[in-house]
């Protein structure tokens, strides 16, 4: 999945530098505040068993995104997590 999405991101104009930096998004100067909030939301929703979407992150999201945008970030995170769980559970492997 990572390879497929990285290739798609490159096709749509994302830079290799930002793709490489996404694994350390929280300390990278390559992501603006809104992007960091969206990435934090995705991380906290993905790790819902830890704490879930914290009040602080949700507050920052409300300050920077519309309710519709927040819903979209949540839904894309849930969808990607679902596909990942299906792929892992069915032992899917990437085919070239």
Task: For 8-67, write each residue's pLDDT tens digit.
Answer: 999 999 999 999 999 999 999 999 999 999 999 999 999 999 999 999 999 999 999 999
pTM, two decimals, is 0.89
Structural domain including 11 reads: 1-30
The domain tally of the chain equals 2
**Residue 43 belongs to a domain with what CATH number?**
1.20.1290.10
Same domain, 26 and 48: no
Q: Are residues 56 and 90 in the same domain?
A: yes
- For 60-82, b/e burial (b = at least 16 CB within 10 A) is bbeeebeeeebeebeeebeeeee
User: Looking at the structure, do residues 80 and 90 belong to the same domain, yes or no?
Assistant: yes
Confidence of residue 4 (pLDDT cuts 50, 70, 90): confident
pLDDT band per the 50, 70, 90 thresholds, residue 96: low
């Amino acid at each position: 999945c990572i390879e497929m999405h990285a290739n798609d991101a490159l096709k749509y104009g994302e830079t290799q530098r930002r793709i490489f930096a996404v694994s350390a998004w929280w300390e990278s100067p390559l992501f603006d505040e809104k992007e960091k909030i969206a990435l934090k939301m995705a991380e906290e929703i993905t790790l819902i068993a830890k704490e879930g979407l914290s009040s602080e992150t949700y507050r920052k999201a409300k300050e920077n995104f519309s309710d519709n945008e927040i819903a979209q970030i949540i839904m894309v995170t849930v969808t990607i997590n679902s596909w990942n769980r299906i792929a892992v559970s069915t032992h899917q492997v990437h085919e070239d």
